[in-house]
Amino acid sequence: MNAPMTSFNKPWITSPDGFRVPYEVFTDQSYYDQEQEKIFRGEAWSFVGLEAELPNKGDFKATAIGDTPVIVTRDQEGRIHVFKNRCMHRGAFLVRESRGNAKSFDCVYHQWSFDLTGALRGVPMRRGVRGEGGMPAAFDMANFHLDELRVANLNGVIFATFSETVEPIEDYLGEEIVATVKRIFNRPIRILGDQRQYVHGNWKLYAENTRDPYHGSLLHLFHNTFGLYRATQTGFSHMDASKRHSLLKVRAAAAPTSEAEDKEVYKDVRSYNTEFRLQDPSILAGRQEFDDGSTLIINAIFPNLLLQQIANTLAVRQSVTYAPDAFEIVWTLFGYEDDDEEMQLIRMKQSNLIGPAGLISMEDGEAVEIVHEAVVRDGKKTSVLAMGGGYAESSEHMITEAPIIGFWQNYARYLGLTSDAAK
């Protein structure tokens, strides 16, 4: 077993040749347990769903923040609530369906009944039966309201937190991320479906992956083969002031790249083939949707959300943790309510890009798993994050790993690790 993390301070070092992360953060149960308390149940806003998933009063969905099961619901006044999915009596799941519509939440075990605002409304046999049994006189149903989380709704994107003290969502995200959310959720959306996949690796490997512009055109050969994204395109890699979140953005060929430059940049890259042609190029025949000309936005929001625009695929990806070596990715693809038929078809064709079999996302699950399996007994060894300089600064290019370092510095801060990383 690896040393407990309190005695661990050496490998989190920023040195001239890069920032190093010890692999035990991915494999040790002690880190996982600390993350649940200090991140997922700590000073952070976690994504729990989209308002469009709950169009009607009484609609609910079951999901999780980290590995804590929660219910997201819309009450009779239309307000969104998030509760722990746990009966206040003896701890059983209140909701076992992943979605539904309910007038109340009734525990199957002893049928304690909670209304949609979380208030306890019914306790069978509370006054006993034929004068026998029953709850004590001091029992007050008002003391058994469901454990309710703070909720923030930013343009229909629902976040929840266990913290009473975390800053308001706008301050938590920062101006540029708020603007990105508002830009994508600028009008009513239409849900197009969910995709779900178990990944046999640590959730933070995916947090790294989604803050990593360096891998974009190297792991995802579809990108450079078909010109959806190449490192020669213009873009930026920004972080918010706290560096928890990252915003990777590629602009449509503002400075057109030459084939000669492409060939030079990718000369060391396996199977880069500019001659490959699609039989059905309509998969890439999208529409320019946004005034800023961006074709690709990868916006990682700490700790569990990724908001993406890849061509005309708009999606949120939620990470749900299970164990140090297991998490789930939930993709929810959406368009807008006012999409015309052609636009709906464009989104469906391009949906082949994302998801568990996605042409530019299958490999992300693979990348997480091949790292996790390879490092499992090398907890004291470290990775190196050096591309772009090895420090967490925003840049006006994509050839960097800086946003990953921003994530780790915050991770160390949240967990209270004594290390250079927290400075």
Single out the segment in contact with other proteins by CB under 8 A; choices: 75-83, 141-149, 195-203, 257-265. 195-203
Residue 326 binding other proteins, by CB under 8 A: no
Among 108, 241, 278, 374, binds other proteins (CB under 8 A): 278
> Does residue 285 belong to the site contacting other proteins (CB under 8 A)?
no
Could you say which of 219, 252, 253, 343 contacts other proteins (CB under 8 A)? 219
| Among candidate residues 1, 4, 20, the one with its CA nearest the CA of residue 421 | 20
60, 42 Cβ separation under 8 angstroms: no
Q: Which stretch in 41-49, 173-181, 192-200, 296-304 sits in contact with other proteins by CB under 8 A?
A: 192-200
Contact between 227 and other proteins by CB under 8 A: the answer reads no
Pairwise CA distance, residues 310 & 121, whole Å: 46
Backbone angles phi, psi at 252, to 5 degrees: -60, 140
Instruction: Using the rule CB under 8 A, give the single segment among 22-30, 130-138, 221-229, 296-304 that binds other proteins.
Output: 221-229
Is 163 exposed, middle or buried, given 0-12, 13-18 or 19+ CB atoms closer than 10 A? middle
242-271: contacts with other proteins (CB under 8 A): 270-271
Any contact of residue 194 with other proteins (CB under 8 A)? yes
Range 95-104 contact pairs with CB under 8 angstroms and sequence separation of 24 or more? 95/60, 95/62, 95/71, 96/62, 97/62, 98/61, 98/62, 99/53, 99/59, 99/60, 99/61, 99/62, 100/59, 100/60, 101/56, 101/58, 101/59, 101/60, 102/58, 102/60, 102/73, 103/58
Q: Is 404 in the site for other proteins (CB under 8 A)?
A: no
DSSP-derived secondary structure letter, 378: -
Q: Is 97 in the site for other proteins (CB under 8 A)?
A: no
Q: Does 98 bind other proteins (CB under 8 A)?
A: yes
Of 15-23, 88-96, 217-225, 239-247: span binding other proteins (CB under 8 A): 217-225
User: Looking only at Cα atoms, what is the longest distance across the chain?
Assistant: 90
> Number of H helices and number of E strands within the chain?
11, 20
Q: Which span sits near other proteins by CB under 8 A: 107-115, 207-215, 346-354, 401-409?
A: 346-354
How far is 27 from 376, CA to CA, in rounded Å? 6
Residues 6+ apart with CB under 8 A from 243: 392, 403, 406, 407, 409, 410
Asked if 187 touches other proteins (CB under 8 A), the answer is no
Closest distance between other proteins and the C-beta of residue 352, in Å?
A: 5
Of positions 280, 338, 340, 342, contacts other proteins by CB under 8 A: 280
Residues that bind other proteins (CB under 8 A): 98, 191-200, 219, 221-222, 225, 270-271, 273, 276, 278-280, 282-283, 328, 333, 344, 348-349, 351-352, 355-357, 359, 362-363, 365-366, 369-370
